[in-house]
Amino acid sequence: MTTEQRTALPDGVRTNGATPNPWWANAVVYQIYPRSFQDSDGDGMGDIKGITSRLDYLADLGVDVLWLSPVFRSPQDDNGYDIADYQDIDPMFGTLADMDELLAEAHKRGLKIIMDLVVNHTSDEHAWFQASRDKDDPHADWYIWRPARPGHEPGTPGAEPNCWGSYFGGSAWQYDEQRGEYFLHQYSKKQPDLNWENPAVRHAVYDMMNWWMDRGIDGFRMDVITQISKTYDANGKLPGEDGSLIEDNPVGEEGYSSPFPFCSDGPRVDEYLAEMRREVFAGREGFITVGEAPGVDAARNGVITDPRNGELDMLFVFTHMDVDCENGTKWNPTPLKLTELKRTLGEQQAAVAEAGWTSLFFCNHDQPRVVSRWGDDSSEESRARSAKAIGLLLHMHRGTPYVYQGEELGMTNAHFTSLDQYRDLETLNAYRQRVEEAKVQSPESMMDAFARRSRDNSRTPMQWDASKYAGFTAEDAAEPWISVNPNHATINAAAEVDDPQSVHAFYKRLIALRHEDPTVAAGDWTLVGADDERVYSFTRTLGDETLLTIVNMSGERTRLPRECDELLGEGVESSDIVIATYDPEHAVAALAVNELEPWEGMVVRL
């Protein structure tokens, strides 16, 4: 099913509070990581023509919107999230003509295309930054520059303007000899932060966005967009700078303080996002805006996505993705506590119960594969069962589901065993920082953390078939830029597309339900059995219809929560089962004895 065939929700059904309902209220988004999706020219790197060649697969899956991770011209320090030219395509991915062809072919199939917008920072090779290195240039104030700390020789340890550390390891300040000052980079030293306090910066960004919208794209996913506003004191100083009126955070175990509280959801975020809406999207139709939202909680999500405030359509809020991190550190992963997942997802649902919207996701290019993270990939049966269970749990919530490439196949983590198999900047920097320099984690512990949490787990090539390189590229082509997961011989699209029992078939049904059933798309959400540590259950209600979702999120046979049993009443028939991870008859039998098999889930029409 494509966008053109999808039935729009009637205006009598409330979605995000806008009238009429937005077209995307019952849509599903599919994220493509271009370098790992499909290689068309045999160089081992995915490209735009490769994406175009797979559009029929995506249309058949039933998704409505394709989100492309960055394909702009870039030195690729952070796999394209360091952009050197916003209005050109990197040669490794193709040309602007290839992009125009992709847009045209996608639109023929009723698929919309949104691009990844990275405007908290640019590459240090961007023309704006190169000009900014000259204090007399009009671009001099387009980035966040600071002199060395008084009393210190510029460029020497301790001369940095404050103690902030980069999220990718090391200091968040880089000294530039040409300018004689430091620039702020929350991420890589090749990703200097733009100065959004400067109106010229903002309007240059808006001009670029309008250029792409006029070219035919359907919107943007905006990378770390809630970090564009920083916290300054009354004199324009950042926390911890010499003479600043705002005290910095304490220095942590790696030797730096965190900029995160002062650079996330800052004081002018709402102002900037509302200005962007006016300058780029006013008067346009059929678009979608999605913001990655570090530092934003459920309540703030409700504000930013409330259509009355004119900011963004939806956000990626990460509170639910931190429930298995010790003290918020991804390199010290802990087992999932299901009640914490319920609590955080419940907060997100409650915050948009009256207005606003939420994004539904467990996977993306920055997260490990969820079937390895919260499911069980130790056997083929448990992998498929848990992939379906987790998919059912996510897609039955209220909001817009996001499917990350290969998630619909139940793709797993890479299971790399040596450091030289990894390519991710964050991963390699973390090893150097935590193991070799700060010595706060052992090599063995760090390698175990990488196997479980590295971003490269989601970046291995898409598994199209069982051939040498999984159909990502030709068998006689160059080796892929990152190793193919060996389990592609059994986990691949060719093996699943025509199998009615596959993870792929299950995802097709989940996506179709979002299109077909207004209760799935927009019904009210209520948690059931909040204290149960194995079963996640909730209702969705619209008018006279109520759907009860029940998912055993464990590999153990388990009892049905008492609250579910009470809602089910005297009995359930197979015709009452909307969808099930096993089959309707199995679901009926399980409910009859109040006992769920491992990773068993179902949706029951009450």
User: Three-state SS string across 25-86, please?
Assistant: HHCCEEEECHHHHCCCCCCCCCCHHHHHHCHHHHHHHCCCEEEECCCEECCCCCCCCCCCEE
Cα-only R_g, the chain: 24
For 412-445, the DSSP string reads ------SGGG---HHHHHHIIIIIIIS--S-HHH
Write the DSSP symbol of residue 377. -
Contact 454, 424 (CB under 8 A): yes
Q: Give the chain's end-to-end CA distance (angstroms, integer).
A: 27
DSSP string over 259-302: -HHHHSS-TTHHHHHHHHIIIIITT--S-EEEEE-TT--HHHHH
d(CA 457, CA 372): 10
CA distance 186 to 367: 19
Nearest one of 226, 229, 230 to 238, comparing CA atoms: 230
Active site residues: 223, 292
DSSP state of 321: G
| 143 bridge partner residues | 194
β-bridge pairing 112-117 and 65-68: parallel
Bridge partners of 512, per DSSP, are none
Q: Which of 27, 22, 110, 60 is nearest to 514 (CA)?
A: 27
The answer to whether the beta carbons of residues 62 and 25 sit under 8 Å apart is no
In the block, residue with structure tokens 């083929």: 380
